[in-house]
Amino acid sequence: MSKLTKLARDRECQIRIPGICNFDPATTVLAHYRLAGTCGVGIKPHDLLGAWACSSCHDEVDRRTRRIDPDSATLAHLEGVIRTQAILLKEGKVAA
């Protein structure tokens, strides 16, 4: 487990899908944003391309549940990645 993966523990969900997010930091993990053509089964992107996600938002962006349309899930995930990166920069966990 990488340092960035460990930093997700007990953090607020940064994906925050309305009507789906459970707002429970105890369920938060790093949800990798999968770029087309760069990922596959068993191949994940760098941990910097991940968002802190509660279990409910993680299920939705990974499409284990399908309560919102795929484009909305993708946009929510990408916004979560950006919010997560902003926090990591502010806390000095990563450098620009």
Say if CB 52 and CB 25 are below 8 A apart: no
d(CA 57, CA 36): 20
Is residue 32 flagged as an active site residue? yes
Residue 76 C-beta-side C-alpha neighbours within 13 Å: 27
Contacts (Cβ under 8 Å, ≥6 apart) of 91: none
| Active-site annotation, residues | 32
